[in-house]
Amino acid sequence: MDRNLALNLVRVTEAAALQSARYLGRGDKNMADEAAVNGMRRMFDTLAIDGVVVIGEGEMDHAPMLYIGEQIGKATEDSIKVDIAVDPLDGTNAVAKGLSNAISVVAVAPRGCFLHAPDMYMNKIAVGPKAKGRVNLDAPIEDNLYNLSKALNKPIRDITVTMLDRPRHEELIYKVRKVGARIKLFQDGDVAAAMATCFEDSGVDMLVGIGGAPEGVLAAAALKCMGGEFQGRLYPMNSEERIRCSDMGLDDINKILTMEDMAKGNEIIFAATGISNGELLKGVVYYENNRAKTNSVVMRAETGTIRFIEAIHRLDKKPEYAK
């Protein structure tokens, strides 16, 4: 895939973040999300790609833009056909309340490479490159912690596990505490938490627990670029969701989904921009004279290059579609 797409994907998440961050702390989840969707969609329209949204804002009747199946990009005859996975705002609550760790994310792969994950729960485990191949979604948490500790060459008490702060994780929390590892609970932002496992400085070693399946595909794309590991299993809560799984052609719901199942191949590009301050990316800061600063990361699985981009924008000099 065209490597120039990498910086353009950063432009997409930057545009979403710059729009959405205006709603920080304003108590309006929907507006924060809508702003991110608008920013993302308008920047996408300027890219020479033939894209189809595979992971997006929901079904067509639920979302006016970036809905699943939507064609986006300024396609020309020789444009590459791609799958697009987006979460314009990962952490709507975080932005509405001015809390940390909200990001805007996008991943792109050749057509057919992303799993069309239904909008339901997924049981997940994620670790960074050093622990790749050392954990298993089906193994007891105690075993995973033990193996992780060996792979990272640090005692279990120095290991930090991150998971969503939800009642459904009560038992998991109990078990992790019993073994003696540290826990970092988070409210919102499943993709950012999975990514954090790949950066030593984040202080986060492993993500476990049940979160969104669409976010799982985005996390799998990101961890593939970074050389980490991600496994998931769909977690339908009722028969209706189970039917949806089989409707989408997923026969064996119990199958462990590997990174390869969720984000196939090596031609994956992933980008994210911070909206509010987080472990990995700083949030948007607005300065005097119509300037703003964003922090982003962009990665390509093919070359393994990871670029952190701190950009200073002149908001008054931006083209119309980026305003």
Partner 1 sequence: MDRDLALSLVRVTEIAALASGRYMGRGDEKGADQAAVDGMRAAFSLVNTKGKVVIGEGELDEAPMLYIGEEIGKGMDIEADIAVDPVEGTTLVAKGLPNAISVIAMAPKGCLLNAPDTYMKKIAVGPKAAGKIEIDATIEENLNNVAKALNKNISDLTVIIQDRERHKEIIEEVRRVGARIKLFSEGDVAAAIATAFEDTGVDILMGIGGAPEGVIAAAALKCMGGDFQGKLYPMSEKERVRCANMGWTEDKLDKLLTMDDLAKGNDIFFAATGISDGDLLKGVVYYGDNLAKTHSVVMRSKTGTIRFVEARHKLDKNDILKELLRKHN
Binding site for partner 1 (CB under 8 A): 3-4, 6-8, 11, 302-314, 317-319
When the beta carbons of 158 and 302 are compared against partner 1, the nearer one is: 302
Q: In the structure encoding, which two tokens stand for residue 164, read together?
A: 């969503």
Q: Of the candidates 204, 15, 8, which has an alpha carbon nearest to the alpha carbon of residue 104?
A: 15
Rank residues 257 and 280 by Cβ distance to partner 1 and give the closer one: 280
**Toward partner 1, which CB reaches closer, 162 or 273?**
273
Instruction: Name which of 177 and 307 has its Cβ closer to partner 1.
Output: 307
Sign of the four-CA dihedral 126, 121, 17, 259: positive
Q: Which is nearer to partner 1, 124 or 313 (CB)?
A: 313
How many CB atoms are closer than 10 A to CB 247?
9
Least CB distance to partner 1 at residue 167 (A): 38
- Residue number with CB closer to partner 1 (260 or 310): 310
Neighbours of 129 (CB within 10 A): 15
Which of residues 74 and 255 has its CB atom nearest to partner 1 in the complex? 74
Taking the complex as a whole, the smallest distance from the CB of residue 81 to partner 1 amounts, in Å, to: 19
Q: How far is the CB of 7 from partner 1 (least distance, A)?
A: 4
For the CB of residue 124, give the shortest distance to partner 1 in the complex, in Å. Answer: 25
CB of 306 to partner 1, least distance (A): 4
Q: What angle do CA 170, 197, 229 make, to 5 degrees?
A: 95
Tell me how far, at minimum, the Cβ of 317 lies from partner 1, in Å.
5
Query: Would you say 6 or 82 has its CB closer to partner 1?
Result: 6
Q: How far is the CB of 199 from partner 1 (least distance, A)?
A: 10
Of 31 and 309, which has the nearer Cβ to partner 1? 309
Question: What is the pairing mode between strands 206-212 and 160-164?
Answer: parallel
Name 245's bridge partners.
none
Shortest distance, position 299 Cβ to partner 1, whole Å: 9
| Least spacing, CB of residue 227 vs partner 1, in Å | 9
